[in-house]
Amino acid sequence: MALAGPVIWVAVEYARSNFSFLAFPWVLAGHSQHANLSVIQIADITGVFGVSFLILLVNGAIAQAVIFLRFKEGDFRRVKLGAAVAAVLLALNFLYGFWCLGAAKWEEGPNVLVVQGNYRQDIKEESFKELETLGRQMKRDHIELTAGVFENPAQLIVWPETMWPGFLLADPPGFAQISALARQTNSHILIGTQRFVFEDRPRRRNSAVLITPEGRAGKGVYDKMFLVPVSEYIPFEDSLPVIKFILNQMLPYEAESLTHGTTMEIFDVAGAKFAVVICFELSLDWLVRGARNAGAQYVINISNDGWFTDSAELDLALGQGVFRAIENRMGVVRSVNTGISSFIDPVGHVNLLEVDGRRKQVSGTLHGRVALGGAKTLFTKWGNWFGFLNLLCAIAVVVYGCACFLRARRGGSGKIR
């Protein structure tokens, strides 16, 4: 139990975290320790799955001992072996964690101003329909929050996902407004909006646009690569149109698919390179790892969490950022509508935006220096080797179990051990 349990558990976590477009790497066992920094430093080697394995190993050893003591079932030698292995690995993990926390050093990057608006999702959706009223108010609120940069200059200003209603690059008056703001602040502005691309027909993309201090966009655009099923695109829309019909009856708005981006854009501000991941993309360790290998020294996550009001999903998203920072030993910056906006350093320390003691359902700004990544970690180089190894071992366990079952049945005894 102590040894097979963690293998099978991690295999299931790994499988559902990499299951094509249905991948959902949330609420993994390892995520429960996101605030316990001395435990999770091993993520720079094994990813979050190493932490999950350790949790299940310790709990499996305890469960095995309880079963033996209470019900007198099992082999005492196996109980001792499971307890010994769990104790040794737990001790080594703590030693490694404390060493990482004490030895960590990094270079500070650009001054960044994070802007956090506070717009519920229903209001935000109405703003797209009423650009002259609600849309204008949303833009004005974010511009007023950005004005704080005049007192504390920043090299980069970050707005959350889709906080510019409509299509910024196809809106000359709106673009002129943002362009003027960039020149006035003498800062780069990273802003979440939508844009059109022309494929077989005009299609929308969820994008992040970087405006330079000179007020130009240039090629500084990232299009979200991993879209969320249902909320951003309709699975099998062309082959099974009935799915779109059903969703349109259920959703408060007409379902319309976006199209995904194809490349990870690497931006450069003040000599430091960064990548942008939008919303749920922060959960995809392989995507952030790919950005790190492409040359990004830190990652910016822009998100609209107005969907989730003040629920625990906001905390879970923050925990994802902690693991991505540790896995790649790089800084993570989050600019999130309704919260939780933050700076995360390469060992997982979090600097949160708080207003009157609250970090959700508030608007405000957070100023800081972003941490830059240094040498690449084993996780950055090798990826999720540990999760994949557990998957192979779990398959072997299942095959072995089936073989034992068939052998017992063929033997005629009917007894399965």
- Residue 349 exposure: Cα atoms within 13 Å on the Cβ side: 10
The total number of structural domains in the chain stands at: 2
Radius of gyration of the CA atoms of the chain, in A: 24
Q: Please indicate, yes or no, whether residues 9 and 66 belong to a single structural domain of this protein.
A: yes
Q: What are phi and psi of 180, to 5 degrees?
A: -65, -40
What beta strand segments (E) does 169-220 contain?
A: 188-198, 202-211
Regarding whether 186 and 156 lie in a shared domain, the answer is yes
286 shares its domain with 353: yes
Residue 239 counted as domain residue: no
All residues at 6 or more sequence positions from 96 whose CB lies less than 8 Å from its CB, including other chains? 41, 42
What are 172-179's contacts with CB under 8 Å, separation 24+?
174/139, 175/217, 177/139, 177/143, 178/211, 178/215, 179/211, 179/215, 179/216
- 32-36, 124-128, 148-152, 370-374: range with lowest mean pLDDT: 124-128
Q: Are residues 196 and 280 in the same domain?
A: yes
Residue 240: inside a domain, yes or no? no
Q: Could you report the per-residue pLDDT of 295-309, keeping only the tens digit for each?
A: 999 999 999 887 777
If asked whether residues 89 and 149 sit together in one domain, one would say no
Distance separating alpha carbons of residues 112 and 334, to the nearest angstrom: 11
| pLDDT at residue 69, as a whole number | 84
Token pair recorded at residue 398: 């299942």
**Angle between helix 4-17 and 48-71 (nearest 10):** 140
Residue 154 pLDDT: 87
Using CA atoms of 44, 159, 108, 155 in order, give the dihedral in degrees to the nearest 10. Answer: 160
- Is there a domain that residue 241 lies in? no
Residues 6+ apart with CB under 8 A from 360: 310, 314, 338, 339, 340
The span from the CA of 337 to the CA of 324, in Å, is: 20
Q: How confident is the model at residue 131 (pLDDT cuts 50, 70, 90)?
A: low
pLDDT at 326 over 70: yes
Q: Over pLDDT 90: what percentage of the chain?
A: 43
Worst-scoring range by mean pLDDT, 88-97, 184-193, 251-260, 267-276?
251-260
- Determine the pLDDT at residue 133: 64
Q: Which residue has the tokens 């998100």?
A: 303
pLDDT of residue 266: 92
CATH of the domain at 187: 3.60.110.10
Beta bridge partners of 331: 298
Instruction: Report the mean per-residue pLDDT for the chain.
Output: 85
Secondary structure string (H, E, C) spanning 165-176: CCCHHHCHHHHH
Give residue 139's pLDDT band: very low, low, confident or very high (50, 70, 90). confident
**Do 166 and 28 belong to one domain?**
no
Q: In what order do the strands lie in the sheet with 298-304?
A: 266-269, 272-278, 298-304, 331-337, 342-344, 350-352
User: Measured in Å, how far apart are the chain's first and last C-alpha atoms?
Assistant: 14
Q: Do 394 and 350 share a structural domain?
A: no
Half-sphere exposure of 164 (CA within 13 A, CB side): 26
pLDDT (0 to 100) of residue 253: 57
Name which of 382, 125, 126 is nearest 231 in CA terms. 125
- Can you tell me the distance from the alpha carbon of 68 to that of 31, in angstroms, rounded to the nearest whole number? 30
> Do residues 151 and 85 share a domain?
no
Q: Is the peptide bond before 8 cis (omega within 30 degrees of 0)?
A: no
Q: Do 187 and 304 fall into the same domain?
A: yes
**Domain assignment present for 249:** no
| 95 in the same domain as 52 | yes
Q: Is residue 197 domain-shared with residue 269, that is, in the same domain? A: yes
% of residues, the chain, pLDDT over 70: 87
Q: What is the mean pLDDT of residues 264-276?
A: 92
- Its pTM stands at 0.87
Q: Which domain covers residue 77, as residue numbers?
A: 4-103+384-411
218 against 185, higher pLDDT: 185
Residue 270 lies in a domain: yes
Instruction: Supply 407's token pair.
Output: 């052998």
Name which residue leads in pLDDT, 166 or 325: 325
DSSP string, 227-255: PPBTTTB-TTTTT-HHHHHHHHHHSSS--
> Could you tell me the pLDDT band of residue 163, with boundaries at 50, 70 and 90?
confident
Task: For residues 283-304, give the mean pLDDT.
Answer: 93
Residues 36 and 176 in one domain: no
Residue 329: pLDDT band by 50, 70, 90 thresholds? Answer: very high
CA distances (Å), origin 369, targets 108, 150, 249, 346: 6, 17, 47, 13
Work out the pLDDT band at 413, boundaries 50, 70, 90. low
pLDDT band with cut points at 50, 70 and 90 for residue 341: very high
pLDDT for residue 239: 62
| Residue 337 host element (H or E) | strand 331-337
